[in-house]
Amino acid sequence: MIRLYADQLGAQLQDSLCSCYLLFGNDQFLLRESQECIRNQAKSKQFNEHFRVTLDASTDWSFIFSLCQTRSMFANRQMLLFFLPDGVIPANMGKNMLQLASLLHDDLLLILRGSKWTSTLENSTWFKALSPHAVLVSCTTPAQRQLPGWVVKRATSMKMKLDNAACQLLCYCYEGNLLALDQALAQLSLMYPDGSMTLSRVEAVVNDAAHFQPFQLIDAVLSGKSKRAVHILCQLKLEAVDPTILVRMFQRLVLQSLTMKGKLQGANISNLCQNSQLLLTPQLELKRLTMLQLRDAVALMTKIELELKHNYDYPVWSELNALVLLLCGNKLPAAMCC
């Protein structure tokens, strides 16, 4: 089996078209683009019939098997696109997938799309049967440290050259949102045909469309990156993320830190985190914070939670901003100290 990142797929397709492609990841832009890239190459190879099937308990497998067995000198070459269900593949579905693997032939192209790649999938019998014919394409959103390389490669493919500052601005504004990033690059390409992308040119086009998950806020806090943490918090606010979710995450984090320091005292902190489901792990300790800072955090979180329950107009996001800065190692403003 060949394993690739999504941005390597084009080169592989130019080399050869395999019988099976496995597209797995959380990034819808990369999944769709990879799918279309395969489909376009398949069209050039006379795969003119296309079937899309979302696999579930009601899937008509007899129809699928009949498609696979239709093979004659007058028949069209066929492409089957299957959307796999999230989670564990049911036993019956796995059995049918195994039978499908035995029916692959040169006039049939199989594409499987899934949201998450797991070792359970890789160790399944049907997957092992597909492996000799398959290309596994990772369609996961590039992490922060990987994004500059992705942007430069993308810009180069569009005959553009980015200076470092321009690249960093694009990464800041579009992290986690590859669709918007690609659209911004396309717009820059149209506006500046010479392909030279400086910071001033990029500034005239971009807007902050970065997309984050709450866990990325926790990662930024753990790393003490206050600027990044505040940026993530602002974007979560724009996306109307429930602030209660963030409060709960911070409560678990502070409880972890207090526990690791061996300073957990009284029932108040335990009650504060009574809804916590997190298993305590040393990696989540805010080691750089003093006990005074942690107590300030507990007091502020208690205030936030009480106000959320009783005051609909409470400016929770400004308080969360202060909490983020505190957990990143900054001092709490005197006016907010309890």
Q: What is the pLDDT of residues 109-137, one digit of tens each?
A: 999 999 988 888 889 999 999 999 899 99
Residue 313 has a pLDDT of: 78
**Residue/partner pairs of 200-206 with CB below 8 Å, 24 or more apart:** 201/166, 202/162, 202/166, 202/169, 202/170, 203/169, 206/169, 206/170, 206/173, 206/174
Question: Does residue 35 have a pLDDT over 60?
Answer: yes
Residue 329 has a pLDDT of: 85
Question: Does residue 174 have a pLDDT over 70?
Answer: yes
Dist. CA 88–CA 164, nearest whole Å: 43
* Nearest partner of 10 among 44, 45, 41, 47, judged by Cα: 41
* Nearest partner of 250 among 289, 214, 292, judged by Cα: 214
Burial of 109 per CB tally in 10 Å (0-12, 13-18, 19+) = buried
Dist. CA 270–CA 273, nearest whole Å: 5
Dist. CA 308–CA 251, nearest whole Å: 15
Residue 338 has a pLDDT of: 47
Mean pLDDT lowest for which of 162-171, 240-249, 261-270?
Answer: 261-270
Residue 130 has a pLDDT of: 93
Residue with tokens 């299957």: 82
Considering only residues 258 and 89, tell me which one the structure prediction assigns the higher pLDDT: 89
What is the mean pLDDT of the segment spanning 142-158? 95
Could you tell me the two tokens for 328? Answer: 């990143």
Q: Which residues pair with 82 in a beta bridge?
A: 53, 112
Query: Which residues lie below 8 Å from residue 315, measured CB to CB, with a gap of 6+?
Result: none
Residue 264 has a pLDDT of: 46
Which CATH number describes the domain made up of 2-138? 3.40.50.300
- Alpha-helical regions (H) of the chain: 9-15, 28-44, 61-69, 91-102, 119-122, 125-130, 147-157, 164-174, 178-191, 199-203, 214-222, 226-238, 243-260, 268-272, 291-310, 316-327
State which fold the 214-336 domain adopts.
Zinc Finger, Delta Prime; domain 3 (1.20.272)
CATH architecture of 147-203: Orthogonal Bundle (1.10)
Question: Does residue 269 have a pLDDT over 50?
Answer: no
Domain ranges across the chain: 2-138, 147-203, 214-336
Upper half-sphere CA count for residue 19 (Cβ side, 13 Å): 16
Residue 272 has a pLDDT of: 46
- In the DSSP assignment, the letter for residue 76 is P
Dist. CA 333–CA 322, nearest whole Å: 8
Dist. CA 169–CA 184, nearest whole Å: 12
Q: Which residues pair with 138 in a beta bridge?
A: 5, 24
Question: Does residue 283 have a pLDDT over 70?
Answer: no
Question: Does residue 139 have a pLDDT over 50?
Answer: yes
Average pLDDT of the chain is: 88
Count the Cβ atoms, other than its own, within 10 Å of residue 112. Answer: 22
Considering only residues 254 and 330, tell me which one the structure prediction assigns the higher pLDDT: 254
